[in-house]
Amino acid sequence: MRRYPSSSFRSVSYSFGPGPVTPVIKLLIWTNVAFFVLAWVLPTIRLYLGLMPEAVFGRSFLWQPVTYLFLHAGFFHIIFNMLALWMFGVELERLWGARFFLKYYFVTGVGAGVTTLAFALVPGELGASVRYSITVGASGAIYGLLLAYALYFPNRPIYLYLLFPIPAKYFVMIMGAIALLSSMAANQGGVANLAHLGGLVCGYLYLKVWRTRPLAEIKYRYFKWKMNHMRRRFDVYTGGRGPRIH
């Protein structure tokens, strides 16, 4: 709940949440609801659209790291995920624009799925439990949105259990620690938390590493090569008071 002071009467009004639903958030919510209803009518669809590493590796179900994002285990699972998508995603979509927001959502969501696939290859009990378990839900992408929200609005208060206000940066640290510790357990809960942890890590790498340094370096190198190519093509030499063209 946030407070907005009035410019004329110095009164205080209160508003819950980030405001109206933005276009991509609306599309994602309706898509998730449609898949939830479909899975309720045809429960066996989870075997084909949920993320099971054995199916990906053994039967080449390569679409599962994407489709698992739109399935949910139950009513409260989808309700809380869609509520979090609205609460944390709306401001990010307004900030980034629809195109980049949708790209980031899938980068973190699919990245979370790939993290699960990677842990399925770990020898031992943990790898075996992950390999034959089915993971569903948008939580990996939601954790990626939480990470981005904390980076852009680090001091924005988030109410833990709707009671305790915690700055967003600390809230994400707590959630990340919970995901890390839970993922060490070789059980069904650990499998789900691997996706949560993967969403956090992929979101951080994409925003702080890939989007900034390598991409900027590639653009710089390409621009430098293009300028040198143009100089050689038109026989342009720099020196003296300005370029000399022959």
Find the domain containing 223 and state its range.
219-245
Mean pLDDT of 213-230: 60
Question: Residue 68: inside a domain, yes or no?
Answer: yes
CA angle, 26 then 29 then 31, to 5°: 105
139 and 233 co-located in one domain? no
The predicted structure's pLDDT at residue 96: 93
Tally of CA atoms within 13 A in the half-sphere of 210 that contains its CB = 10
Q: Which two tokens stand for residue 25?
A: 């958030």
What does the DSSP 8-state code read for residue 187?
S
Distance CA 16, CA 6 (A): 17
Q: 72 near 84, Cβ under 8 Å?
A: no
> Taking the model in full, what pTM does it have?
0.75
User: For residue 85, what pLDDT band results from cuts at 50, 70 and 90?
Assistant: very high
CA distance 67 to 47: 11
CA 30 – CA 39 distance, rounded (Å): 14
In this prediction, residue 91 has a pLDDT band, given cuts at 50, 70 and 90, of very high
pLDDT mean over 206-229: 65
Same structural domain, 100 and 143: yes
Q: Which residue(s) pair with 15 in the sheet? A: 2
Residue 150 located in a structural domain: yes
On whether residue 239 sits in a domain, the answer given is yes
Q: Can you give the CATH number for the domain in which 109 is found?
A: 1.20.1540.10
SS3 state of residue 14? strand
The rounded percent of the chain whose pLDDT value lies above 90 is 41
* pLDDT attached to residue 213: 54
Q: Is residue 195 part of a domain?
A: yes
Report the domain count for the chain.
2
Per-residue confidence (pLDDT) for residue 86, from 0 to 100: 92
Task: Indicate the burial class of 136 (C-beta count within 10 angstroms; 0-12, 13-18, 19 or more).
Answer: buried
**Higher-pLDDT residue of 222, 23:** 23
pLDDT at 158: 81
pLDDT value at residue 128: 83
- What would the pLDDT profile of 136-193 be if each residue is shown by its tens digit? 999 899 999 999 999 999 998 887 766 778 888 888 888 777 766 665 554 545 456 7
Same domain membership, residue 105 and residue 138: yes
Residues 6+ apart with CB under 8 A from 134: 46, 47, 50, 51, 52
In a domain, 229, yes or no: yes
- Is 204 in the same domain as 134? yes
Among the listed ranges 12-16, 59-63, 95-99, 217-221, which one has the minimum average pLDDT value?
12-16
The answer to whether residues 180 and 230 belong to one domain is no
